[in-house]
Structure 1
Amino acid sequence: MPPLPLLPDLSRPGLTRRVTGRDQTGAQIEISVVEERPLTIYLNRQEVVTAMTIGDYPDYLALGFLRNQGMLRDDDVLTGIDYDEEIDTVVVRTQRQTSYEDKMQKKTRTSGCAVGTVFGDMMEGLDGLTLPQTPVRSSWLYALARQINTTPSLYLEAGAIHGTVLCQQDKPLVYMEDVGRHNAVDKISGFMFRHGIPAEDKILYTTGRLTSEMVIKTALMGIPVLASRSGFTAWGVEIARQVGLTVIGRMRGQRFVCLAGEDRLIRDADPASIPDDGGKRAKGTS
């Protein structure tokens, strides 16, 4: 397993490119913009999906996507993960023979977007699921927000990207970024699957909205707490309450809102002691 914390590596080639344009006054400027490229994922001999991604950690992205789609089981034995950079393809191989033709036909019919998910199948994965009732302290949330929002990242350098961070108490462990929030959380899921990371004492932090998809993926990963700088969707909150997921959003400076799992939130920090960012976003935008 890579040493923790695993943070964004801005020295990795090919993540951004410098582009020249003009600002609102007509003055010439040069800025960094995020690169995106296709990645085709195979499970054994079957092509599953082509996703647009920034190209880092293709093995974790493939594993996490397949796991969150129910195509990889927790007890599956991996026999290989082969990545071909020239043709942007990753092949995940398992000891168990797999065949998901019906699932992929359904996906083709229901989504015109290559990175869309088989939403109905993900919902079925929630049947009977109840997450551990792990408490979370407000002091952890404040500390995490401060650390994550000041960590050098593509989010701060170039914007147009989402970040997702696996945390334990007040410590960030794994910080992944991608052009889609689903890709970033899939990378976290793949990391956990690959290295056998337990989920019951973890917090998942995201820069993106707390949508139904984010809530479902967090629940399927077994993580009991989901937090974000951004807001909520009603269905996301409803599903979180159904499975016992603590959901905290609009984390800005002293403020946050908890819409699910309030009974598991321990307010052990005085908000007045926390520096207020005035509601301003960090440099960059998701």
Structure 2
Amino acid sequence: MQLARAEDVGDYLIAPDPGAPRLTRAVTGTDHTGATVEARVVEERPLTIYLNGQEIVTAMTIGDFPEYLALGFLRNQGMLRDADEVTGVEFDEELEVVVVRTARQTDYEEKMRKKTRTSGCAVGTVFGDMMEGLEDVALPPAQVRTSWLYALSAGINRTPSLYLEAGAIHGTVLCQGNRPLVYMEDVGRHNAVDKIAGWMLSERIPAEDKILYTTGRLTSEMVIKTALMGIPVLASRSGFTAWGVEIARQVGLTLIGRMKGQRFLCLSGEERLLRDADPTQIADEPRGARRKGAHA
């Protein structure tokens, strides 16, 4: 997939490409006045992920970055270990299949008998015990400046995106300091964060100094994935679920939500925050308003 030009998206390493023809389709309908209109709607297609010879899952996705999605999904499910040698990642566009191959022989038949449907849009799936591996998580004591949060929120919400082109989409952004690095979109926020995880795994990107920004709700699934990736901070302009907050506190994750204008709410990991910005100097949003480009 062709990436958007650097001059259009600032310093992103990967940014949304809302004009990519494969991601949306023109559909004719009528508006509230009865007039005929043409709208761009998001494509949704299946992608089947194999680990060596075993079929793992079929995910509904917009179809970009399938290799990263497969790697990230397997990593976040605990099916790819830190010590694993990935010997190949093969994508067949015609069959809509990704095969990830490892030097280690794998068999997750028993794990796949247990699966949890999550609250993620487009129905996320978590295999096995959702809490497996969290007891060993030790997130780094990174510092988070509130000036970074304000800059990230303003910049990300104004970035040209597939959401602005067609809606019905979620985004996840990997950030370092006040700089957004990689912005992934998909019909489910779980897919978007898995693409980030796959990119980090492929490029061997360290997690200890990163912030993960999501446009969707701060659910248990998002908290678990972020913690297992080793990222110490998860932020969103949307709200929280009680279980998401509980798990964040358990693993020591900094959890920040309802980021709108000068306001935000931190419900876990307050000790990482350095309040170096005066909120009264930040342009606020009218209550009830949604900034162009934001997501519910």
Class of the TM-score when normalised by the shorter of the 2 chains: over 0.9
**1:1-34 deviation line (CA, Å, top 9, x unaligned):** x995211122433101122222223232222111
Cα deviation, residue 83, structure 1 = 0.3
Q: Amino acid of the residue matched to residue 92 of structure 2? A: D
Find the residue that maps to 2:230 and give its secondary structure. Answer: coil
Find the residue that maps to 1:139 and give its secondary structure. Answer: helix
Correspondence for 2:232: 224
Correspondence for 1:281: 290
Correspondence for 2:80: 72
Q: Amino acid of the residue matched to residue 141 of structure 2? A: Q
Kindly report the root-mean-square deviation, in angstroms, between the aligned alpha carbons of the 2 structures: 1.9
**1:105-158 deviation line (CA, Å, top 9, x unaligned):** 223xx5599954236523011013221121101100000011101111112221
Correspondence for 1:205: 213
CA distance in 2, matches of 1:70, 1:204: 20
Pick the aligned partner of 2:94 from 76, 86, 97: 86
CA distance in 1, matches of 2:229, 2:103: 22
CA distance in 1, matches of 2:137, 2:251: 6
Q: In the TM superposition, what are the counterparts of 1:9-28 in structure 2 within 5 Å?
A: 9-28=17-36
Task: Give unpaired runs (5+ residues) of structure 2.
Answer: 4-10
Task: Give unpaired runs (5+ residues) of structure 1.
Answer: none
Q: Amino acid of the residue matched to residue 281 of structure 1? A: R
Query: In 1, are the aligned partners of 2:212 and 2:234 still within 8 Å (CA)?
Result: yes
Correspondence 1:186 to 2:194: yes
**1:149-182 deviation line (CA, Å, top 9, x unaligned):** 1111112221110000000000000000000010
Correspondence 1:42 to 2:58: no
CA spacing shift, 1:42–1:148, aligned 2, 3 Å: same
Q: Amino acid of the residue matched to residue 242 of structure 2? A: A
Find the residue that maps to 1:281 and give its secondary structure. Answer: coil
Correspondence for 1:157: 165
CA distance in 1, matches of 2:125, 2:187: 16
Correspondence for 1:103: 111
Cα deviation, residue 258, structure 1 = 0.5
CA spacing shift, 1:266–1:63, aligned 2, 3 Å: same
Query: In 2, are the aligned partners of 1:69 and 1:117 still within 8 Å (CA)?
Result: no
Find the residue that maps to 2:235 and give its secondary structure. Answer: strand
Correspondence for 1:59: 67
CA distance in 2, matches of 1:147, 1:250: 16
Find the residue that maps to 1:236 and give its secondary structure. Answer: helix
Correspondence for 1:133: 141
Q: Amino acid of the residue matched to residue 20 of structure 1? A: T
Find the residue that maps to 2:110 and give its secondary structure. Answer: helix
Give identity over the alignment, percent.
Answer: 74
Range moving further from structure 2, 167-176 or 259-268:
259-268
Correspondence for 1:170: 178
Query: In 2, are the aligned partners of 1:49 and 1:115 still within 8 Å (CA)?
Result: no
CA distance in 1, matches of 2:273, 2:193: 23
Q: Amino acid of the residue matched to residue 81 of structure 2? A: R
Query: In 2, are the aligned partners of 1:68 and 1:122 still within 8 Å (CA)?
Result: no
CA distance in 2, matches of 1:142, 1:17: 34
CA spacing shift, 1:186–1:159, aligned 2, 3 Å: same
Cα deviation, residue 281, structure 1 = 1.6
Correspondence for 2:6: none
CA distance in 1, matches of 2:114, 2:244: 23
TM-score, normalising length from structure 2? 0.91
Correspondence 1:196 to 2:210: no
Q: Amino acid of the residue matched to residue 247 of structure 1? A: L
**1:196-217 deviation line (CA, Å, top 9, x unaligned):** 1000000000000000000000
CA distance in 2, matches of 1:67, 1:269: 36
